[in-house]
Amino acid sequence: MDRYAEQRLFGFLARASAALIVAVLLLVVGVTIFRGGRVFLTDPAVAITPPGSRYMLDGGGGFLHAVLGSLFIVVPATVVATTLSLSTAVFLQSDYSSERTSDVINMFLNVLWGTPPIVYGVFVLTVIIAVGAQTSLIFGIVAIAIFQYPIMTRYADEALQSAPDAVKEASYGLGATRFETARVTIRAALPGIIAGVIMGFARGIGDAATVLFTAGRSTQMPGGPFEPATTLPILIFEQAASFNAEVRSHAYAASFVLIVAVLALIIASKLLAGRYARFAPGGRQ
Amino acid sequence: MTHDTVIRTDDLEVTYTGKREVTALNGVSVDFSENKLTAIIGPSGCGKSTLLKSLNRLHEIQPNAEITGEVYLEDDPVYETDEPLPEIRRRVGYVPQKPTPLPVSIYNNVAYGPKIHGDYSREELDDIVETQLRKVNLWSEVEDRLDSPGAELSTGQIQRLCLARSLAAEPDVLLCDEVTSALDPISAEQVEETLADLKEEYTIVMVTHSMEQAKRLADDVIFLYLGDVIETNDARTFFENPQNERTQEFVEGHAAVEYDDGDDTAPDSTADAPPAE
């Protein structure tokens, strides 16, 4: 094969794989938005109506309990995980730890990232049983935070590492402390860090396995941090398995809410990251 | 040197212990006089930046740097001291080679040093920002967009911003690491003019690749070669009547054949070509 044929072949493969990804994504998102949208838009109130007492059987009421459950679990979990992961990522930079230490920690983070979420769920469940507690919202927060932590840390670490060394040098050269310099570096790495936080949030809000064993599968409105709660992904699973056709159709509406929320978040993060990228030295991104 | 010495090194030895051990400075003892501009010149990888950064311990950011000897800042030791490192670095400011704004607005770039070191009112900060930007001849170019990102300025403007930022921390000594090497000729000239103004007020230590630049700006010159000080003298004597044979060769441009680029893990091992002068 001559070099131009090689080049054409590679060009074809590259375009084909990109097209495949886009097609699959469009199919999944498109079907959900189309079918979900049809159900949701005929009765948008389902997302803000509390469930009836026999919701799973007759589809009376809506699924506000799961919308709120998702928010009450994933928002605090993201706050906790962001704080922890930023601290860890700063620690992993050369100002605080040797290359060897950060390599070892990064390996653990990669393993954590690769661990199936159900394992976190079972792990937290074991703790719940050991301390004699019951599944509740607070344990859902813990499990989701553990799940998000490695994802966010890896993103933040990459972002901090790709911030130019000269920023660090300039900050130290002005007499900044390590902490002040870390803040400057974080600011320089903010577009990447925001991407990581949004990715963690999106993964957290979409995950069912971690919450299943820890927050329970309540069919009532969340009653407080120590009461059982449920989230949208678990609800969708249960709705889809229902005998009642109306409940099954709600699964599409719930999926629609979930997917639109995630899309909105991603767009918001792009806009936010773009704002901060203007300040990044060298005009990255 | 008859002028008062502000900062001096005493038998300074720096070794980088990475995968390969490299001695960057080999027992260097030099003086830097008050309100003078001292140029450190020499071929690539000869330890120029290391000497510069060791004056305010900035090389310590880099892991694996080992140092013996001492630096005295107005007779206070810089290494064997209880004074917090940030205080030393405030007194000995540093302007990096690559023009790099902090990821904040133009205003906050300049106000950063004052903000971390002192407690100033908004009016005082406004005043400092304007004064320092005027000193580096940047004020008229940015006064109506102080809130826009520092990163949106041109490279030459950014380098002058970096100078203003360093000056705002009120240093006694200003370290300049090849501050014009990344600039186009016109911006470089502007920065040079600024430095020429500044040396009336500040003690400046400048690393440069350009012999011409050293001739234009320097009051004193230190010639480093492979980690050793070969000659240190006032600029006139250095260029017109070099005392050392190697200096003569270097000044005349014959030393170039002996340079060995890329054979150094020191932070100044840039890919820049040796000066052609």
Residue range B141-168, pLDDT digits in tens? 999 999 999 999 999 999 999 999 999 9
CA distance B158 to B163: 9
Other Cβ atoms less than 10 A from the Cβ of A36: the count is 22
Mean pLDDT, residues B189-209 taken together: 91
CA distance A141 to chain B (A): 33
Mean pLDDT, residues B55-82 taken together: 89
Which of B100, B116, B165 comes nearest A167 by C-beta?
B100
Contact B102 A170 (CB under 8 A): yes
Residue B62, pLDDT score: 79
pLDDT band at residue B271 under the 50/70/90 scheme? very low
CA distance A132 to chain B (A): 48
Q: Which residues pair with B10 in a beta bridge?
A: B70
* Termini Cα distance of chain A: 37
Of chain B, the percentage scoring pLDDT greater than 70 comes to 90
Give which of B53, B56, B102, B167 to mutate to test A binding, by max A Cβ within 10 Å. B102
Mean pLDDT, residues B244-270 taken together: 57
**What is the DSSP track for A226-256?**
TS----HHHHHHHHHT-SSHHHHHHHHHHHH
Contact A170 B116 (CB under 8 A): no
Contact B169 A278 (CB under 8 A): no
Contact A175 B166 (CB under 8 A): no
Q: Where are the domains of chain B?
A: 5-97+172-258
B151/A contact by beta carbon, under 8 A: yes
Contact A171 B102 (CB under 8 A): yes
Are residues A254 and A37 in contact, defined by beta-carbon separation less than 8 angstroms? no
Nearest CA in chain B to A183: B103
Which of A99, A177, A281 comes nearest B103 by C-beta?
A281
Which of A164, A166, A278 comes nearest B149 by C-beta?
A278
Contact B103 A279 (CB under 8 A): yes
Which of B87, B102, B169 comes nearest A184 by C-beta?
B102
Give which of A167, A174, A180 to mutate to test B binding, by max B Cβ within 10 Å. A174
Q: What is the pLDDT of residues B24-53, one digit of tens each?
A: 898 899 999 999 999 999 888 788 889 999
Are residues B199 and B32 in contact, defined by beta-carbon separation less than 8 angstroms? no
Nearest CA in chain B to A187: B103
**What is the DSSP track for B120-155?**
--HHHHHHHHHHHHHHTT-HHHHTT-TTSBGGGS-H
Q: What is the pLDDT of residues A111-169, one digit of tens each?
A: 999 999 999 999 999 999 999 989 999 999 999 999 999 999 999 999 999 988 889 99
> In this structure, what DSSP letter does residue B29 have?
-
Contact B86 A168 (CB under 8 A): no
pLDDT band at residue A282 under the 50/70/90 scheme? low
**Does the pLDDT at position B179 exceed 50?**
yes
Which of B104, B113, B165 comes nearest A279 by C-beta?
B104
Judged by average pLDDT, the poorest of A77-86, A101-110, A141-150, B245-254 is B245-254
Which ipTM score applies to this complex? 0.84
B218: Cα separation from own chain's centroid: 13
Contact B151 A173 (CB under 8 A): no
Residue B79, pLDDT score: 92
Which of A173, A180, A278 comes nearest B116 by C-beta?
A180
Residue B252, pLDDT score: 79
B246/A contact by beta carbon, under 8 A: no
Output the six-digit token pair for A155: 């993103």
CA distance B114 to chain A (A): 9
**Does the pLDDT at position A195 exceed 50?**
yes
**What is the DSSP track for B62-124?**
STTEEEEEEEEETTEESSS--S-HHHHHHHEEEE-SS----SSBHHHHHHHHHHHHS---HHH
CA distance A164 to A170: 10
**What's the number of CA atoms in the CB half-sphere (13 Å) around residue B127?**
5
Nearest CA in chain B to A189: B103
**A chain contacts of residue B100, beta-carbon cutoff 8 Å:** 164, 166-167, 169-170, 281-282
CA distance B270 to chain A (A): 14
Q: Which of residues 159-178 of B touch A (CB under 8 A)?
A: 162, 165-166, 169, 175
pLDDT band at residue B3 under the 50/70/90 scheme? low
Residue A144, pLDDT score: 96
Residue A219, pLDDT score: 85
Integer-rounded Cα Rg, in Å, for chain A is 22
> What letters, b where the CB count within 10 A reaches 16 and e where it falls short, cover B102-138?
bbbbbbbbbbbbbbbbeeeeeeebeebbeebbebbbb
Mean pLDDT of chain B: 86
**B chain contacts of residue A283, beta-carbon cutoff 8 Å:** 151-152
Q: What is the pLDDT of residues A203-216, one digit of tens each?
A: 999 999 999 999 98
Alpha helices (H) in A32-98, listed in sequence order: 37-42, 55-58, 64-92
Burial class for B5, CB neighbours closer than 10 Å (0-12, 13-18, 19+): middle
Task: Measure the CA dihedral A60/A62/A66/A70, to 10°.
Answer: 180
**Does the pLDDT at position B276 exceed 70?**
no
Chain A positions touching chain B (beta carbons under 8 Å)? 94-95, 98-99, 164, 166-177, 180, 184, 187-188, 190, 276, 278-283
pTM, 2 dp? 0.83
Pairing verdict, β B65-73 and B203-207? unpaired
Task: Measure the CA dihedral A72/A74/A76/A77, to 10°.
Answer: 140
**Does the pLDDT at position B127 exceed 70?**
yes
- Written as one letter, the residue type at A190 is L
CA distance A132 to A66: 25
Contact B96 A187 (CB under 8 A): no
Give which of B59, B60, B89, B175 to mutate to test A binding, by max A Cβ within 10 Å. B89
CATH 3.40.50.300 holds for B5-97+172-258? yes
**Does the pLDDT at position A284 exceed 50?**
no
- Written as one letter, the residue type at B69 is G
**B chain contacts of residue A169, beta-carbon cutoff 8 Å:** 58, 61, 94, 96, 100
